[in-house]
Amino acid sequence: MVHAANAQQGRTQAVSLDATFAALADGTRRAVIDLLRKGPRRASDLADTLGASKPAMSRHLRVLRDSGLVETSSNDDGRERIYTLMPAQFAQLRAWVEDVEAFWTVQLASFKDHVERTRGKR
């Protein structure tokens, strides 16, 4: 049963990463992430800063929220949403990138060793 649980967790993480990559594939959404790195912002401020219509920004923010990259809270009077980054999804993305980097580091080191061993055998 441990293998089945690990496999399910792996599929869940893959789906989550797919949503993250899909969300980050759009330049406007990456620009939103860059703005939110500086601090929380209202949706209207994001739209104004990026020159996007409010409905278009709403769609972009929904994608980012659904992917787990941003979260919302309401301002004091509850009329406006404030958007902030969610570090957990970025941590998962970072872990995946580090795993891929580690894989290629090992592969390239192995290839280098092979070339160095066989260089003189011609």
What pLDDT does residue 51 have? 97
Residue 38 belongs to a domain: yes
Rounded mean pLDDT, 90-105: 88
Residue 60 belongs to a domain: yes
Residue 67 belongs to a domain: yes
- Residue 99 vs residue 39, higher pLDDT: 39
Count of helix runs (H) and strand runs (E) in the chain? 5, 3
Rounded Cα–Cα distance for residues 122 and 110 (Å)? 19
Quick one: pLDDT band at residue 3, thresholds 50, 70, 90? low
Give the CATH number for residue 59.
1.10.10.10
Kindly report, residue by residue over 39-78, the tens digit of the pLDDT.
Answer: 999 999 999 999 999 999 999 999 999 999 999 988 777 7
Residue 101 belongs to a domain: no
- Residue 32 vs residue 91, higher pLDDT: 32
Rounded Cα–Cα distance for residues 78 and 61 (Å)? 18
Residue 118 belongs to a domain: no
Residue 111 belongs to a domain: no
Q: Which domain holds residue 38?
A: 2-86
Residue 115 belongs to a domain: no
Query: What's the predicted TM-score (pTM) here?
Result: 0.71
Rounded Cα–Cα distance for residues 70 and 47 (Å)? 15
- Residue 109 has a CB neighbour count (10 Å cut-off) of 10
Residue 82 belongs to a domain: yes
Q: How many domains does the chain have?
A: 1
Rounded mean pLDDT, 77-89: 88
